Amino acid sequence: MKKVGKAAAPAFPLLAAAAAMAVIMIISNSATTSEAARVFKVGDDFGWQEPTSNNSQLYAQWATTNRFQVGDSLLFEYKNDSVAEVDKWGYYHCNTSTATAVFDNGRSSFKLEQPGPFYFISGNFNHCNNGQLLVVEVMSMYHHEHPHHPSLPPQPAFPPAYAYPPQGSSSSSSMVPSSSESHQPSSAVIMSVIVSCVTVVLIATFVALFLCAP
């Protein structure tokens, strides 16, 4: 009598499982990229302008309510004003003489490319002195601890003893296109839900294969 060997397991379920794993990896990478590419509109609806006398800490408060990571961008929207990226000294003295970038085109974007503090002031000395200045603390892209508010340098409370007039500004800017005026963290949440659903389907597939095996 001819001996019949055991039939080989069909390859399709295994290929389907491998494809599901690949989908999970792709979606996970997309979720990470989406989370790291947020655009924050500075000041939200208030935008970038001189604060009122009773709200001089507006931008300091705004910075502490947001979490910034490497890869994010700051969007400044303003009229008849400017924005300058400066160092710590320039921040405290409302001085643009050592600014790395100065823009006055009304809509300027700065990409946060490394962890650490970033300092911004208005090119108008009086506006800066009255509270139109911002410092943000940027965390590493892979920092996933619970959000906390870092200790940021306080805004100057009175005019510095030695102040220099701001330098001329440039009309060009490094814009980062965005379909959103402010950050949208909900996209990362949606991607996480999708990853969870695909994971459940994958587990169910393996269980079904195990139960149906001869």
Do the Cβ atoms of 39 and 128 come closer than 8 Å?
A: no
Q: How far apart are CA 192 and CA 30, in angstroms?
A: 10
Reply yes or no on whether the pLDDT at 208 is more than 90: no
Is the model more confident about 197 or about 57?
57
**Is 95 inside a domain boundary?**
yes
Reply yes or no on whether the pLDDT at 23 is more than 60: no
- For residues 92 and 157, membership in a common domain is answered with yes
Closest alpha carbon to 103 in 125, 78, 127: 78
- For residues 173 and 158, membership in a common domain is answered with yes
pLDDT score for 140: 82
**Is 74 inside a domain boundary?**
yes
- For residues 29 and 95, membership in a common domain is answered with no
Lowest mean pLDDT among 47-56, 122-131, 176-185: 176-185
- For residues 109 and 177, membership in a common domain is answered with yes
User: What element of type H or E holds 35?
Assistant: helix 12-35
> CB under 8 Å to 76, separation ≥6 — which residues?
42, 47, 48, 83, 103, 107, 108, 109, 110, 120
User: What element of type H or E holds 32?
Assistant: helix 12-35
> CB under 8 Å to 128, separation ≥6 — which residues?
94, 121, 122
Query: Residue 37's CB: how many other CB atoms inside 10 A?
Result: 17
Per the structure, the count of domains in the chain is 2
Q: Please give the residue range of the domain that contains residue 141.
A: 39-183
Per-residue tokens: 104: 């006055």
- For residues 194 and 92, membership in a common domain is answered with no
CATH number of the domain within which 175 lies: 2.60.40.420
Q: How far apart are CA 175 and CA 179, in angstroms?
A: 13
pLDDT score for 165: 44
Q: How far apart are CA 36 and CA 188, in angstroms?
A: 9
Q: How far apart are CA 76 and CA 31, in angstroms?
A: 26
> CB under 8 Å to 90, separation ≥6 — which residues?
84, 96, 97, 98, 99, 119, 121
pLDDT score for 202: 72
Sorting pLDDT into bands at 50, 70 and 90, what band is 26? low
Per-residue tokens: 170: 């440039």
pLDDT score for 52: 94
Percent of the chain past pLDDT 70, that is, above it, reads: 50
Task: Give residue 3's identity as a one-letter amino acid code.
Answer: K
- For residues 158 and 195, membership in a common domain is answered with no
Reply yes or no on whether the pLDDT at 4 is more than 50: yes
Reply yes or no on whether the pLDDT at 22 is more than 90: no
**Is 7 inside a domain boundary?**
no
What pLDDT digit, counting tens, does each position of 124-174 carry?
Answer: 999 999 999 999 999 986 555 444 444 455 555 444 433 344 444 443 344
- For residues 133 and 62, membership in a common domain is answered with yes
CA distances from 201 to 24, 136, 188 (A): 11, 41, 20
What pLDDT digit, counting tens, does each position of 98-124 carry?
Answer: 999 999 999 999 999 999 999 999 999
Sorting pLDDT into bands at 50, 70 and 90, what band is 176? very low
Is the model more confident about 110 or about 180?
110
What pLDDT digit, counting tens, does each position of 54-78 carry?
Answer: 999 999 999 999 999 999 999 999 9
Question: Can you say whether the dihedral through the CA atoms of 66, 50, 39, 171 is positive or negative?
Answer: negative
- For residues 63 and 158, membership in a common domain is answered with yes
